[in-house]
């Protein structure tokens, strides 16, 4: 059984959204649940049991609403003002992360130096200079496919070096 999902969405999304709002959900939550309803229909394996797509949509929407209400009863929600959230979240990386990132950066720098000169230049122009493959090819006097091969080899080399260092 195949349903016209676009047609179902056009026909029923607004009424499902209203139904979910009447059940006490905010506009944003109702929109999310409506979208989840159609995602469930889209990803469901056709079982041939449902002959009425509208009823199936409503049942999914109702079940999603019930599931959300149950989760909200179990999990305690605390509203914090934005300034309180900013004090909780520390955007600075941990000392361990700083050391780890510096070590990996040193590995990348050494790996770049180990590359053949033309490969390193192509990679740096593309990745660090933000040039397209075509622009790099023109500047180096190579074909685009050869340039792509050089840059791909550089990526492979860097990944291999970083993987060798991985714990």
Calpha distance 26→8 (Å, rounded):
23
Calpha distance 134→82 (Å, rounded):
46
CB atoms within 10 A of CB 104: 14
Q: What Cα–Cα distance (Å) separates residue 7 from each residue in 20, 97, 160?
A: 20, 50, 49
Is 49 exposed, middle or buried, given 0-12, 13-18 or 19+ CB atoms closer than 10 A?
Answer: exposed
CB atoms within 10 A of CB 29: 16
Query: pLDDT digit of tens for each residue in the chain (167 aa)?
Result: 567 788 888 999 999 999 999 999 999 999 999 999 988 888 776 665 567 888 889 999 999 999 999 988 888 777 878 887 777 767 788 899 999 999 999 999 999 999 999 999 999 999 999 899 999 999 999 999 999 999 999 999 999 999 876 65
Kindly report the pTM of this predicted structure: 0.46
CB atoms within 10 A of CB 157: 18
Calpha distance 117→15 (Å, rounded):
63
């Amino acid at each position: 059984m195949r349903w016209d999902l676009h047609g179902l969405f056009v026909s029923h999304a607004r009424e499902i959204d209203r139904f979910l709002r009447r059940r006490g959900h905010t506009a944003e939550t109702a929109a999310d649940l409506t979208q989840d309803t159609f995602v469930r229909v889209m990803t469901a394996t056709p079982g041939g049991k449902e002959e009425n797509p509208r009823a199936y949509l409503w049942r999914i929407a109702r079940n999603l609403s019930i599931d959300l209400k149950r989760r909200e009863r179990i999990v305690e929600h605390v509203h914090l003002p934005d300034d309180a959230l900013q004090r909780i979240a520390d955007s600075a990386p941990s000392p361990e992360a700083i050391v780890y990132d510096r070590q990996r950066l040193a590995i990348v720098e050494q790996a770049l130096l180990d590359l053949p000169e033309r490969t390193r230049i192509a990679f740096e122009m593309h990745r660090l200079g933000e040039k397209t493959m075509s622009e790099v090819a023109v500047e180096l006097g190579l074909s685009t496919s050869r340039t792509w091969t050089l840059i791909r080899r550089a990526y492979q080399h860097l990944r291999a070096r970083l993987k060798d260092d991985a714990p």
